């Protein structure tokens, strides 16, 4: 049986999928290698969302070619969104890749690998309308033993005009809530204290009578000592009902990631986002009404097709209004096959995209620092996660708002809740001291 090393790029969903892949391979008798050096197979779970994500993977595949020169047994398989997008074309372009396997075909991995050992190359890229891997107990690959991902729904059919995800991950489908609650319970019993419910579009979750708010309540009931987070929500269906459930359970974390993409109604329409800036700001107001201490984060795209300076200014203005605690900020990257690629010219030049992006980054950095400065003096319950990267004498953890707090270790141990008072900050981190 082969020794397999799994390498993961991209979003949280990919990390969760790699843990499902790990379980499928282990159940088929393979062992999971701790590093490439020990592996017969390297599986690369890939992202296709922007061109630079794909280039990173291409670079890695070419780097592994040298290793294959030294180890003739070593094979490479490509999983995930890039496999789905490029299919067998990828094996033509990268001739040291033995197979491609899309996000809904992971149960076929053992056969694919056997086929490769017999000298054939393979491609499994069929998308499914039903696959949720609900019965598979993931191998917790990336885990610290304290927090874990639970995938609750897959796919997306919003068709934002710039986005490749509906083509690489297929239609939306939700997983049986009983299997989700059972997974959460199992994690809690094994010492985990935080779960993040994952889906491309979690608030579209629906399984028979159970919608996302009901599911959140069911998972929150597993234990008041287990924190529950979720990602990602679409603004168009962030309901008051969900906010009410969040407010009712203190163990549902006070943190909402709500990608805005642009602060201009004209751009939002071209992006097919199905909401307006006014609707988005109304959702912000509702979040703050229900949970005044809720942290809000976002995604934004600079330089989408036809974006004028006025549109860009509207994005900056929205950032000044909302005052996000964190933002993932990107330059628009045209993706083949999307509505925008087919019908809208990618007409903002690279230097101008960079300039606009940098303007957003600078503004957001300043806002994050100002937000953090208001935290000094506040006290938080922190779930201790581990040793700080800077010093062995310090630990780090997160508060409910998902902000990282660093503090002197004293008698604290990872996996427990402690009270920390904030004494100082940077734009990215709160610095504090144990007070219990
Ligand atoms: N170009 C740049 N950013 C993109 N995103 C999605 N598609 C693209 C694209 N073509 C961003 C969006 C999304 C996040 C996951 O990636 O902001 O919310
Ligand atoms: Fe892409 Fe839009 Fe679906 Fe998010 S909601 S995955 S941005 S199509």
Rounded CA-CA distance 98/104 in Å is: 18
From 158, 330, 341, mutation site for ligand 1 pocket: most ligand atoms within 8 A of C-beta: 330
- pLDDT band, residue 422 (cuts 50/70/90): very high
Nearest CA to ligand 2 atom 5: 158
Nearest to 341 by CA among 379, 385, 306, 305: 305
Give the ligand whose atoms come closest to the C-alpha of residue 304: 1
Helices and strands: H and E segment counts in the chain: 14, 21
- Tokens linked to 205: 């979750």
pLDDT on residue 360: 98
Smallest-distance ligand from the CA of 236: 2
* 386-394: long-range contacts, CB 8 A cutoff, minimum separation 24: 386/144, 386/146, 386/414
Q: b/e per residue, 46-78, with b = 16+ CB within 10 A? A: bbbbbeebbeebeeebeebeeeeeeeeebbbbb
- Residue 215: what pLDDT? 98
Distance CA 205, CA 210 (A): 8
- At 39-68, the pLDDT tens digits run 999 999 999 999 999 999 999 999 999 999
Q: Which fold has domain 143-253?
A: Transcription Regulator spoIIAA (3.30.750)
The pocket around ligand 2, CB under 6 angstroms, is made up of 156, 158-160, 163, 165-166, 200-201, 234
61 C-alpha to ligand 2 centroid (Å) = 27
**Is 285-374 the same fold as 143-253?**
yes
The CATH code of domain 379-434 reads 2.40.50
Ligand 1 neighbour 315 (Cβ under 6 A): no
Is the pLDDT assigned to residue 164 strictly greater than 90?
A: yes
pLDDT digits (tens, 9 = 90+) for 10-34: 999 999 999 999 999 999 999 999 9
Q: Which of 47, 50, 356 to mutate to test the pocket of ligand 1 (most atoms within 8 A of CB)?
A: 50
- Pocket of ligand 1 contains residue 304 by CB under 6 Å: no
SS3 42: strand
Ligand 2 mean position, distance from CA 205 (Å): 15
Q: What is the pTM of this model?
A: 0.96
Cα 371 to middle of ligand 1, angstroms:
25
Quickly state the pLDDT bin for 1 (edges 50, 70, 90): confident
Fold of 285-374: Transcription Regulator spoIIAA (3.30.750)
The three-state secondary structure class of 432 is strand
- Nearest atom, ligand 1, residue 300 CA: 17
403 pLDDT above the threshold of 90? yes
Choice from 231, 233, 272, 301 to test ligand 1 binding pocket (greatest atom count within 8 A of CB): 301
Task: Please report which ligand is nearest the Cα atom of 300.
Answer: 1
pLDDT digits (tens, 9 = 90+) for 91-134: 999 999 999 999 999 999 999 999 999 999 999 999 999 999 99
Q: What region does 119 belong to: left with phi over 0, alpha with psi -120 to 50, or beta?
A: left
Give the Cα separation of 34 and 5 in Å (integer). 7
What are the strands, taking DSSP E only, across 47-115?
Answer: 75-80, 99-101
- Percent of the chain whose pLDDT exceeds 70: 100
Per-domain residue ranges of the chain: 3-124, 143-253, 285-374, 379-434
Strand order in the sheet with 122-124: 31-32, 3-8, 41-46, 75-80, 99-101, 122-124
| pLDDT 10s digits, 300-314 | 999 999 999 999 999
- In CATH, 3-124 is 3.40.50.12160: yes
Q: State how far the Cα of 84 lies from the Cα of 90, in Å rounded to an integer.
A: 10
Atom of ligand 2 nearest to the CA of 163: 1
CA dist 24 and 41 (Å) reads 15
């Amino acid at each position: 049986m082969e020794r397999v090393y799994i390498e993961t790029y991209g979003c949280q969903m990919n990390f969760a999928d790699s843990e499902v892949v790990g379980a499928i391979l282990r159940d088929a008798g393979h062992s999971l290698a701790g590093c490439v050096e020990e592996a017969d197979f390297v599986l690369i779970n890939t992202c296709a969302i922007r061109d630079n994500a794909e280039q990173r993977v291409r670079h890695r595949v070419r780097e592994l070619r040298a290793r294959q020169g030294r180890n003739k047994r070593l094979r490479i398989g490509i999983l995930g969104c890039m496999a789905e997008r490029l299919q067998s074309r990828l094996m033509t372009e990268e001739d040291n890749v033995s197979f491609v396997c899309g996000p809904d075909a992971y149960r076929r991995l053992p056969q694919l690998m056997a086929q490769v050992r017999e000298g054939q190359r393979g491609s499994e890229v069929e998308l499914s309308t039903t696959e949720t891997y609900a019965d598979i107990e993931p191998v917790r690959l990336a885990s610290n033993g304290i927090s874990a991902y639970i995938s609750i729904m897959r796919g997306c059919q919003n068709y934002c005009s710039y986005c490749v995800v509906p083509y690489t991950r297929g239609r939306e489908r939700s997983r049986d809530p009983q299997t989700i609650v059972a997974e959460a319970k199992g994690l809690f019993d094994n010492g985990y204290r935080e779960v993040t419910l994952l889906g491309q579009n979690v608030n579209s979750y629906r399984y028979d009578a159970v919608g996302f708010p009901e599911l959140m309540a069911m998972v929150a009931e597993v234990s008041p000592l287990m924190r529950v987070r979720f990602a990602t929500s679409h603004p168009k269906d962030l309901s008051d009902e969900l906010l009410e459930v969040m407010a009712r359970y203190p163990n549902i974390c006070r943190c909402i990631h709500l990608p805005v993409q642009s602060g201009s109604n004209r751009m939002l329409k071209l992006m097919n986002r199905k909401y307006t800036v006014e609707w988005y700001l109304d959702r912000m107001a509702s979040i703050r009404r229900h949970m005044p201490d809720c942290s809000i984060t976002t995604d934004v795209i600079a330089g989408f097709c036809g974006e004028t300076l006025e549109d860009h200014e509207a994005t900056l203005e929205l950032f000044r209004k909302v005052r996000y605690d964190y933002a993932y900020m990107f330059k628009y990257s045209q993706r083949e096959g999307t509505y925008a690629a087919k019908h809208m010219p990618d007409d903002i030049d690279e230097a101008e995209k960079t300039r606009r992006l940098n303007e957003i980054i600078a503004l957001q950095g300043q806002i994050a620092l100002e937000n953090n400065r208001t935290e000094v003096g506040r006290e938080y319950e922190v779930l201790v996660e581990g040793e700080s990267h800077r010093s062995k004498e310090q630990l780090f953890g997160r508060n409910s708002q998902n902000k990282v707090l660093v503090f002197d270790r004293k008698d604290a141990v990872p996996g427990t809740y402690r009270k920390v008072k904030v004494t100082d900050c940077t734009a990215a981190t709160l610095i504090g001291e144990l007070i219990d």
